[in-house]
A and B are shown apart, each in its own frame.
Chain A
């Protein structure tokens, strides 16, 4: 990581500089009424070279998957194949407008339809909408689908969603946005949903349960089918948080576990890069009875000419049958959750990835993600306490609290990892583990890379005892050292202002 002090782009501004050329006006000018116009637009004035150097320098102050291991738990920061980028930049995709007539964008609609089908095949669901823009957006969508379905059944008294304490933080927030209240369900001593606590909270006010499985402890719920059965018996629905789908690819279909609705995180499981905060993409899959409630439009396939040929087997029949892809709104749709059809550019990347892996590749991804996580866990658990000592799935949580180093916290360990060239794990999450370090190596790390990371963690544990200041002051080799986050929140400076 380059140590750079880079001014703000505004501080590079010099009156009269321009960074882009534009064509001359080739039509007669019209009058612009003065009362419509703004007086000043204080954007920076910089040259193209200034712009390029400024942002390239900023890029060198950033850590991405292409630089090294990024074991941020529950974020599934796997390598993003370069072919995805090439595919998403094909001009025939990029230069299409969402309001072009359907017959002009059959390629786009075909890709979306095929992606819907592939996600259905992987998950076992009956229908998929690609519209949600991110995982949490998919959660809100899924909860609204559950709400609409139950209302149609006359079950309007249902107002409660059960959420295990090992769930993602967005689950309760999405639930609240849909107008429901949250009841938290405890984990048992093995990290599963506590069945007794669940039973005690099931009644006719329950909309359903939101299950992250494997959960944020990296554990597959050993009673998942029982949990689903109990929730269904109480008249509720099962929501699956698909953020941890990477561990399930080709291993088990969520629909087979009794999940009724689930979102996929294309930017996690299907290798579409996260762009320093997004775009993501959070398609939602549902079982048959919920298909009419999906947000739309979704893509439907229409076979033209099929009827004419029914019962007349011709050799050339296949050639005479044509397909046409259409955008349709499901019959009882909850509505649109986003403008247009979703994150199309992200869909292209996920499609490319799935096409290149196929069914066998899906299974290999999950298997290797799980092998990598367990290997890493086995190597570090002697030193870092493991709250639930079970085989994990694609991630695991250790306590960043070391024997003989009482002053060292998870945050210190994380910051010191940066000096070893490793992106820190997720800190202080899940909330049920004190000083949590949530580690997810993903399947795209090699044995050598995992060994390097494990060795770094073990060496840091030694350093914690012999030289705790080294950890407290870490990181040492970054453009900035530890930042005053409390001060930032207490006295928010959220924009640049010119000196007066």
Chain B
């Protein structure tokens, strides 16, 4: 099936108007010896056949709709109210491009303006952009912004060793041509005080994650002290946050954040094997002109009616080219729309309730697991919905047993990113995990510990 309406008759008519004899004549400028190459693709199939093949392929996966799971580590299985898919399936939204023509894009623009406002409410910050690709790339853009705020004179970025390891990898990839030094992730046991010790007069930004990659919530007093240290040195304090936790926890603005960003997948986007996700990004007003990505602003039309436009575009690549704040052109508009619908539907009370369900269920799971002989929690600090457990056997072995004997997708194997913790599993619990599932996990962990 080719989605081309032109018939042979149409084509003949059009070629006559163009003034050429054949379609080939339109490609006169393509080197003849290279024209019409052989392309080795599978034979085309009908809609019915392709859906059958894809159905089969998708069903060869173990999917979390049918299998209880305790995986998190930056991507979380949350409930998505039906209204979200209803709205993002409106083709006026999903078949639109970037809203360059505001008069015919008020839907996209107003929704983005509402999304920006909700991200500000969630984080406590002044301004938010209309999204980045994901949490990792948003972190890299925060680094670039911090360097720009320091007028390019500060070239050091201090990261907490408990920032998502993939985020740090993305940052390192982004800055490899920029003469920026990333420090702080060498010692996984470094305290916030140790991190503060790395801040110097060359530091542009300090990045922490709350709750951190291992689920721990650091003391807000200690976080504020780190922020103060960063500010005294003239650096920005950057917080990577889990948006669902902000339904319950103090917004990072209250402990000194200059930039708050994170992975917004939990706000209405499905797991979808890692993408498309949503990078949310908010900052203090004074830095808005250094912020990368699209921004929607409110204005009026010729008759004084409220309307919305893309604004402050002098920061952007289509105007400033190589002097632009960043090269970002495409963002995650549809995921941002999903987040706006999600936050609207849940609202003030609903998001708090989701956060509380996660918190209570995770604490129930942690308490029950810690009671099993041989298992203990890695940290005794507060946590939100994710925690690391040291196990009596290698984590890989335990996960395999959980799946093969109990049909449970276990936790994240911490040893994969943290050498020396091969016996540790990180469990994430959300509102999707029922008590029965948690109890089954506890039983299964007990069983695998006592077997052999």
Determine the chain B residues whose CB is within 8 A of the CB of A285 once the complex forms.
Answer: none
> For the complex, is B173 an interface residue (Cβ under 8 Å from A)?
yes
Chain A min CB distance to B61 (Å): 4
B44 touches A418 (CB 8 A): no
Which residue in chain A gives the minimum CB-CB distance to B325?
Answer: A173
B360 touches A355 (CB 8 A): no
A275 touches B333 (CB 8 A): yes
A335 touches B172 (CB 8 A): yes
Chain B min CB distance to A232 (Å): 16
> For the complex, is A86 an interface residue (Cβ under 8 Å from B)?
yes
On whether A482 and B302 interact (CB within 8 A), knowing A337-B173, A356-B46, A495-B128, the answer reads yes
Instruction: Identify A56's interface contact among B36, B90, B96, CB under 8 A.
Output: B90
Interface pick from A5-13, A195-203, A398-406: A5-13
Determine the chain B residues whose CB is within 8 A of the CB of A423 once the complex forms.
Answer: 101, 104
**Given A90-B55, A277-B98, A480-B305, 11 more pairs with CB closer than 8 A:** A22-B357, A62-B96, A93-B272, A108-B273, A169-B318, A180-B177, A257-B31, A339-B164, A344-B272, A478-B104, A494-B297
Which residue in chain B gives the minimum CB-CB distance to A474?
Answer: B103
Which residue in chain A gives the minimum CB-CB distance to B27?
Answer: A251
Within 8 A of B (CB), among A53-112: 54-56, 58-67, 70, 72, 75, 77-81, 83, 85-87, 90-101, 104-108, 110-111
Measured in the bound complex, the distance between the Cα atoms of B15 and A335 in whole Å is 48
A58 touches B107 (CB 8 A): yes
A362 touches B288 (CB 8 A): no
Chain A min CB distance to B318 (Å): 4
On whether A339 and B277 interact (CB within 8 A), knowing A44-B347, A55-B87, A147-B177, the answer reads yes
Interface pick from B117-125, B194-202, B370-378: B117-125
Chain A min CB distance to B51 (Å): 7
Determine the chain A residues whose CB is within 8 A of the CB of B118 once the complex forms.
Answer: 43
> For the complex, is A244 an interface residue (Cβ under 8 Å from B)?
no
> For the complex, is A185 an interface residue (Cβ under 8 Å from B)?
no
Measured in the bound complex, the distance between the Cα atoms of B172 and A106 in whole Å is 30
On whether A107 and B64 interact (CB within 8 A), knowing A58-B107, A339-B274, A357-B44, the answer reads no
Which residue in chain B gives the minimum CB-CB distance to A54?
Answer: B344
Query: 21 A-B contacts, Cβ less than 8 Å apart?
Result: A6-B110, A23-B431, A36-B217, A41-B121, A52-B86, A67-B92, A83-B51, A87-B50, A100-B409, A101-B399, A107-B56, A107-B59, A144-B173, A180-B177, A251-B27, A277-B294, A335-B170, A427-B100, A447-B6, A478-B106, A496-B117
Within 8 A of A (CB), among B266-312: 270-277, 288, 294-303, 305-309, 311-312
Instruction: Identify A358's interface contact among B44, B79, B112, CB under 8 A.
Output: B44
The interface bits of chain B over 313-349 (1 if a CB of A lies within 8 angstroms of the residue's CB, else 0) are: 1100111111110111111111111001101111111
The interface bits of chain A over 359-370 (1 if a CB of B lies within 8 angstroms of the residue's CB, else 0) are: 111111101101
The interface bits of chain A over 179-223 (1 if a CB of B lies within 8 angstroms of the residue's CB, else 0) are: 111100000000000000000000000000000000000011110
Measured in the bound complex, the distance between the Cα atoms of B327 and A96 in whole Å is 31
A355 touches B311 (CB 8 A): no
Measured in the bound complex, the distance between the Cα atoms of B362 and A32 in whole Å is 12
Interface pick from A302-310, A438-446, A456-464: A438-446
Determine the chain B residues whose CB is within 8 A of the CB of A220 once the complex forms.
Answer: 27, 29-30
The interface bits of chain B over 1-23 (1 if a CB of A lies within 8 angstroms of the residue's CB, else 0) are: 11111100011011101111001
Instruction: Identify B116's interface contact among A140, A273, A495, CB under 8 A.
Output: A495
Chain B min CB distance to A133 (Å): 4
Determine the chain B residues whose CB is within 8 A of the CB of A32 once the complex forms.
Answer: 248, 356, 359
Measured in the bound complex, the distance between the Cα atoms of B340 and A482 in whole Å is 26
Measured in the bound complex, the distance between the Cα atoms of B104 and A70 in whole Å is 11
The interface bits of chain B over 69-107 (1 if a CB of A lies within 8 angstroms of the residue's CB, else 0) are: 101011101010101001111111111111111111111
Chain B min CB distance to A100 (Å): 6
Instruction: Identify B334's interface contact among A35, A252, A279, CB under 8 A.
Output: A279
Chain B min CB distance to A104 (Å): 4
Instruction: Identify A28's interface contact among B217, B302, B364, CB under 8 A.
Output: B364
> For the complex, is B179 an interface residue (Cβ under 8 Å from A)?
yes
Instruction: Identify A133's interface contact among B36, B42, B275, CB under 8 A.
Output: B275
Which residue in chain B gives the minimum CB-CB distance to A422?
Answer: B104
A64 touches B271 (CB 8 A): no
Determine the chain B residues whose CB is within 8 A of the CB of A496 once the complex forms.
Answer: 113-114, 117, 298
Measured in the bound complex, the distance between the Cα atoms of B132 and A130 in whole Å is 18
Which residue in chain B gives the minimum CB-CB distance to A58?
Answer: B107
B309 touches A37 (CB 8 A): no
Chain B min CB distance to A83 (Å): 5
> For the complex, is B444 an interface residue (Cβ under 8 Å from A)?
no
Chain B min CB distance to A127 (Å): 16
Measured in the bound complex, the distance between the Cα atoms of B270 and A111 in whole Å is 18
Chain B's interface size range is 35 or more
The interface bits of chain A over 394-431 (1 if a CB of B lies within 8 angstroms of the residue's CB, else 0) are: 00000000000000000000110010000110110100
> For the complex, is A137 an interface residue (Cβ under 8 Å from B)?
yes
A27 touches B364 (CB 8 A): yes
B64 touches A95 (CB 8 A): yes
Which residue in chain B gives the minimum CB-CB distance to A249?
Answer: B39
Query: Inter-chain contact count A-B, CB under 8 Å?
Result: 683
Determine the chain A residues whose CB is within 8 A of the CB of B348 once the complex forms.
Answer: 41-45
Which residue in chain B gives the minimum CB-CB distance to A479?
Answer: B106
Determine the chain B residues whose CB is within 8 A of the CB of A9 once the complex forms.
Answer: 114, 340, 344
Chain A min CB distance to B164 (Å): 7
**Which one of B46, B50, B126, B412 has the greatest number of beta carbons of chain A within 10 Å?**
B50
A276 touches B438 (CB 8 A): no
B60 touches A107 (CB 8 A): yes
Chain B min CB distance to A480 (Å): 4
B96 touches A276 (CB 8 A): yes
Measured in the bound complex, the distance between the Cα atoms of B13 and A182 in whole Å is 45
Chain A min CB distance to B24 (Å): 9
On whether A58 and B110 interact (CB within 8 A), knowing A107-B60, A176-B323, the answer reads yes
A64 touches B100 (CB 8 A): no
On whether A371 and B321 interact (CB within 8 A), knowing A38-B250, A108-B61, A279-B276, the answer reads no
A173 touches B317 (CB 8 A): yes
Closest 5 CB pairs of A and B: A277-B333, A179-B177, A340-B274, A92-B58, A275-B334
On whether A340 and B177 interact (CB within 8 A), knowing A278-B334, A359-B40, A480-B103, the answer reads no
Determine the chain B residues whose CB is within 8 A of the CB of A251 once the complex forms.
Answer: 27, 30, 35-36
B311 touches A488 (CB 8 A): yes
Chain B min CB distance to A215 (Å): 12
> For the complex, is B424 an interface residue (Cβ under 8 Å from A)?
no
Chain B min CB distance to A242 (Å): 14
Chain A min CB distance to B314 (Å): 7
A18 touches B333 (CB 8 A): no
Instruction: Identify B120's interface contact among A30, A280, A475, A495, CB under 8 A.
Output: A495
> For the complex, is B447 an interface residue (Cβ under 8 Å from A)?
no
A483 touches B113 (CB 8 A): no
On whether A336 and B166 interact (CB within 8 A), knowing A46-B344, A140-B327, A444-B4, the answer reads yes
A93 touches B58 (CB 8 A): yes
Instruction: Identify B351's interface contact among A17, A41, A52, A341, CB under 8 A.
Output: A41
